[in-house]
Structure 1
Amino acid sequence: MAPHAMTGPWTLRMPAAMAATLREHLFPGDGDEHGAVIGASVVTTARGTRLLARRLYLAEDGVDYVAGQRGYRMLTATFVRDRVRDCRTQGLAYLAIHCHGGTTRVGFSGTDLASHERGYPALRDILGSTPAGGLVFATDAVAGDLWLPDGGRAELERGVITGWPIKNLHPEPPPSPTSDPTYDRQSRVFGDRGQAILAAQKVAVIGAGGAGSLVIEYLARLGIGEVVIVDPDRVERSNLPRLAGARARDAHSWMTDLARPRWLRVLGHRYATPKVKVARRVACQANGRIRVRALQADVTQNAIATSLVDCDYIFLAADSMQARLVVNALIHQYLIPGVQVGAKVQVGPGGVVTDVFSVVRPVAPGFGCLWCNELLSPAKLQEEALTAEQLRQQRYVQDEAVHAPSVISLNAVAAAHAVDDYLHAVTGLLPTTYEPRWRRFHPLVSTAPQRVRCDVPRVGADCTECSDTGRLGQGHNTPLPTK
């Protein structure tokens, strides 16, 4: 974006694997100071500017990070020059890093700030269109001093580690929020601070059908601040048993009854209520303060996908390959954690049910990539792209005249577990040792180990989507796979 568009608040987002590498480098247990550089993509939206950590350059002690001429230690001129050139070539912001002692509070020393005054104006001029700046870390805190292309200067509000748990780092602990009696029972679980985090979240739900409609109601009742709902479809009579909040008049059931003339049924389908409007109605009834953006559209449309780049979390409850493709790219490219959620009933010859399961597949930047785990099929992507009608469909079978089996309780299992994962991750309830898994719930299986199956998703070292040679942290520097 143009330099004048860069506005606060400013946040830094880092994939969990990169954050772990940086932490090990800065805090190896010797109590000393260490250095590094992050190259970050810059994404400015109405919610502020995000610095997406794209490259991590560790400074070797005694080689790249040496005794300082005015301060304790410094990055060498050669190391700085090479990293600034890298950042300029790749369109990245340059962020020099060092560490201080302490845990939840950190700030720059007077010597640090004086060095910024001497060096960052020149680095900013070299970069041209992206900021230069410095970050200082304690073990559980970060502060930032950013020198902007327009000549301004800004402080980093917080850092976000986009893993499980989703960890927020501040320069100092935020002030205690005011308690809200509406959420007294649940705030006893994750505290007033956890409730305040939820109120500040912007969450996207892609697909407002059986699973998505339940996710939306759960999020609204939890006190989420803003939800964006994306679904192109209208309510049909067969949706009513599993679509949360749907009414018979939303489907114009009297017009779409099979006994009616075809022209009347067509008219009924055309004027049926969009699923996103039903979802908005349910959300607002559950939470009068929630902000809802209901988009009757396909997430594969570029304008729709790019409106989601400032979300804090994404629920994928639409099962088209095209939707998977775009959401997978959004998660890795813009460093937004999310989850694929759904349920399926497999039917064999003669209509015999062969398998029933609900799925919850967490996906985060650099983890759980749908390409790496063969949940995206080039053949099916090509098939869906044949006609606009096929792109519109979000069904589990290819013949649109045949509706796949679906039951609300199966969707509820997946939706509840997915929202639980999100809730625990974002409010800090998950332990730092938590290891996410993909889970499949099989209600027809009687033995405990097979009833809930957990898998560690594969990671491709050179994946074009989730690796540091692919989309990871690219932000606006590469296009999304949209129309």
Structure 2
Amino acid sequence: MNAPWSVRITQNDWHALAAHLFPGDRDEHAAILRCGLARTPRGNRLLVHDVLYAVDGTDYVPGDRGYRKLTPEFVLEAAESCADDELVYVAVHCHGGTERVEFSEIDMASHERGYPALLDITDRPAVGALVFARNAVAGDIWLADGTRVPIDHLQVLGRPQTRLHPEPRRPAHAGEAFDRQSRIFGDRGQHILATQRVAIIGLGGAGSLINEYLARLGVGEILVIDPDRIEMSNLSRVVGARRGDAWSLLTTENRPEWLRRIGRRLSAPKVKIAARVAREASRTVTVTAVFDDVLEPDVAELLLDCDHIFLAADSHSARRLVDALTHQYFIPNTQVGAKVSLVKDTGDIADIFSAVRASVPGDGCLRCAQLINPVLLQEEAKSHGERRRQRYLDDDDVPAPSVITLNALAAAHAVNDWMMSITGLTSDLVEPHRWITIHPLTDEIVEYAQRHHPSCPNCGLGRFARGDARRLPTKVR
């Protein structure tokens, strides 16, 4: 519990909360946040599940010791609902000012009087309070063991993403290595990139490009996950792959099958190649390479510490897991891919497209968009031998067409969109079209809206902002 504390909130909830706290009357206003909790070695995150707005004069009234207070009835009802729903109680109110804020002595005294009782009522690991100025926030978190901690920041997960601190922070100079790009988004933007921990699931054509882009941008840590080894057929599109990685002397088509099997077992894992590429591109990057299936519980757990996930794997099970991580743990994701569809009878090309689908908490998900097939989910849960015997899936021994330029279209757009968002260059005045497909045959870019169903098991209220209180859809051991 010594790791720093932060708060994450969706863009829609933040806009509504800010409008409630700062309606233009220069007065104090208040609300209560009900938050999920996610605890990892890198930090403890309060995830805003919903906001209970205090009505002036009814729920937020003149105080006995200070200017105003929340009524005992409003506080008790909110605390009991947090206990029932396994959520953390966080009271909020506003002060004047813009760039700096702190609690008053009266605020801190009220916490000391009331928060021990709130810990008992909610029976949760923490309760707390936030105080806002227009562009700043400070926090006082009370833990069940009796300790108190501040919050480091509040992060608004939208496009662009925004971070609020108790007071402005001045980043260090970006340095010569990033001089040209820091001229675009400044030392602050370069500092944000350096503090990011980004995951890539799938290190094939698109994932390998994303890996190099992130390293050259100066991302601080990259987590790469893939259970596959490089093959000769991958060399044309996997960045940094060498013929020696695929043991070409043993695996070329003119070698006997027994020798090719040995070569395939000796071939380099794709994550090892990705780690080599990233370290050659950046002297400062930390790379964690996981040669395993992302659906293994201990592998999926590594994703909980990430700031963003790029999904460049084809499996529907991985799509479901990443959907859950985004909405349950408030970790934005971008699903990236390219596809060449063929006419089954003739083999002619029916369509070619690259896809980029970025999601933040509160958006729709791949399941709602019917991009997760329940039948294929069931089939992926079976062993390779079972799938081959039953033949419910397309023959997975027949490789799908793939070209590096199609992957590059998707990868470049995905990373550029993410970079513009986290460095604050994306305008929040423009309604973003986050999901696109790029069709080279017709020279079209198709934008489409996301879908969201409140009862969805991936992005619905049952999982939304629940953090550690819900199980992820990983393999069952």
Question: Which interval holds the TM-score relative to the shorter structure?
Answer: over 0.9
Cα contact 1:207–1:318 (8 A) shared by 2: yes
Match of 1:456 among 446, 449, 454: 449
Match of 1:298 among 293, 299, 315: 293
1:482 and 2:474 aligned: yes
Cα contact 2:338–2:353 (8 A) shared by 1: yes
Paired residues for 1:166-181 under 5 Å? 166-181=161-176
2:157 alignment partner in structure 1: 162
Match of 1:369 among 355, 365, 369: 365
2:48 alignment partner in structure 1: 53
Moved more, 186-195 or 40-49: 40-49
Q: What is the CA–CA distance in structure 2 between the aligned matches of 1:144 and 1:46, rounded to whole Å?
A: 20
1:317 alignment partner in structure 2: 312
2:39 alignment partner in structure 1: 44
Q: CA deviation at 1:193?
A: 0.8
Match of 2:377 among 378, 381, 398: 381
Q: What is the CA–CA distance in structure 1 between the aligned matches of 2:146 and 2:315, rounded to whole Å?
A: 46
Q: CA deviation at 1:7?
A: 2.1
Cα contact 1:37–1:58 (8 A) shared by 2: yes
Cα contact 1:164–1:434 (8 A) shared by 2: no
Q: CA deviation at 1:346?
A: 0.7
The one-letter code matched in structure 2 to 1:374 is Q
The one-letter code matched in structure 1 to 2:450 is P
2:403 alignment partner in structure 1: 407
Paired residues for 1:259-298 under 5 Å? 259-298=254-293
Moved more, 30-39 or 314-323: 30-39
1:466 and 2:459 aligned: yes
The one-letter code matched in structure 2 to 1:325 is R
The one-letter code matched in structure 1 to 2:263 is G
Moved more, 399-408 or 127-136: 127-136
1:439 and 2:436 aligned: yes
Q: What is the CA–CA distance in structure 1 between the aligned matches of 2:332 and 2:296, rounded to whole Å?
A: 21
Paired residues for 1:106-255 under 5 Å? 106-255=101-250
In 2 relative to 1, CA 201–157 (structure 1 residues): closer, same or farther, beyond 3 Å?
same
Could you tell me which runs of 5 or more consecutive residues in structure 1 were left unpaired when the two chains were aligned. 1-5, 392-396
In 2 relative to 1, CA 256–178 (structure 1 residues): closer, same or farther, beyond 3 Å?
same
Q: CA deviation at 1:389?
A: 6.7
Cα contact 1:361–1:368 (8 A) shared by 2: no
Q: What is the CA–CA distance in structure 2 between the aligned matches of 1:370 and 1:142, rounded to whole Å?
A: 33
Cα contact 1:384–1:390 (8 A) shared by 2: no
Cα contact 2:3–2:41 (8 A) shared by 1: no
Q: CA deviation at 1:359?
A: 0.7
1:94 alignment partner in structure 2: 89
- Partner secondary structure for residue 419 of structure 1: helix
Moved more, 186-195 or 94-103: 94-103
Cα contact 1:92–1:130 (8 A) shared by 2: no
In 2 relative to 1, CA 269–172 (structure 1 residues): closer, same or farther, beyond 3 Å?
same
Superposed structure 1 runs of 4+ greater than 6 Å apart: none
Q: What is the CA–CA distance in structure 2 between the aligned matches of 1:434 and 1:322, rounded to whole Å?
A: 33
Q: CA deviation at 1:267?
A: 0.9
The one-letter code matched in structure 2 to 1:209 is G
Q: What is the CA–CA distance in structure 2 between the aligned matches of 1:124 and 1:47, rounded to whole Å?
A: 24
Q: What is the CA–CA distance in structure 1 between the aligned matches of 2:171 and 2:397, rounded to whole Å?
A: 55
Q: CA deviation at 1:99?
A: 1.1
Q: CA deviation at 1:197?
A: 0.6
Q: What is the CA–CA distance in structure 2 between the aligned matches of 1:332 and 1:388, rounded to whole Å?
A: 30
Moved more, 69-78 or 84-93: 84-93
Deviations 1:278-301 (A, max 9, x none): 000000000021110000111111
Q: What is the CA–CA distance in structure 1 between the aligned matches of 2:20 and 2:431, rounded to whole Å?
A: 22
Cα contact 2:251–2:259 (8 A) shared by 1: yes
1:341 alignment partner in structure 2: 336
The one-letter code matched in structure 2 to 1:384 is E
Q: What is the CA–CA distance in structure 2 between the aligned matches of 1:398 and 1:103, rounded to whole Å?
A: 58
Q: CA deviation at 1:126?
A: 2.9
Cα contact 2:170–2:188 (8 A) shared by 1: no
- Partner secondary structure for residue 358 of structure 2: strand
Match of 2:418 among 422, 442, 455: 422
Moved more, 211-220 or 112-121: 112-121
Q: What is the CA–CA distance in structure 2 between the aligned matches of 1:175 and 1:185, rounded to whole Å?
A: 20
Q: What is the CA–CA distance in structure 2 between the aligned matches of 1:389 and 1:129, rounded to whole Å?
A: 46
- Partner secondary structure for residue 359 of structure 1: strand
Cα contact 2:320–2:458 (8 A) shared by 1: no
The one-letter code matched in structure 2 to 1:481 is P
Q: What is the CA–CA distance in structure 2 between the aligned matches of 1:390 and 1:479, rounded to whole Å?
A: 27
Match of 2:75 among 60, 75, 80: 80
2:390 alignment partner in structure 1: none
Tell me the TM-score normalised to structure 2 length: 0.95
Cα contact 2:38–2:45 (8 A) shared by 1: yes
1:27 alignment partner in structure 2: 22
Match of 1:63 among 58, 66, 74: 58
- Partner secondary structure for residue 318 of structure 2: helix
Could you tell me which runs of 5 or more consecutive residues in structure 2 were left unpaired when the two chains were aligned. 388-392
1:351 and 2:343 aligned: no
Deviations 1:115-143 (A, max 9, x none): 11211122123333421111011222111
Q: CA deviation at 1:390?
A: 8.3
- Partner secondary structure for residue 30 of structure 1: coil
Aligned-residue Cα RMSD (Å) equals 1.6
Cα contact 1:67–1:74 (8 A) shared by 2: yes
Q: What is the CA–CA distance in structure 2 between the aligned matches of 1:178 and 1:390, rounded to whole Å?
A: 56
Q: CA deviation at 1:181?
A: 1.3
Q: What is the CA–CA distance in structure 1 between the aligned matches of 2:52 and 2:280, rounded to whole Å?
A: 49
Cα contact 2:326–2:361 (8 A) shared by 1: yes
Deviations 1:149-189 (A, max 9, x none): 11111001100111111111111111232332110000000
Tell me the TM-score normalised to structure 1 length: 0.94
- Partner secondary structure for residue 192 of structure 1: helix
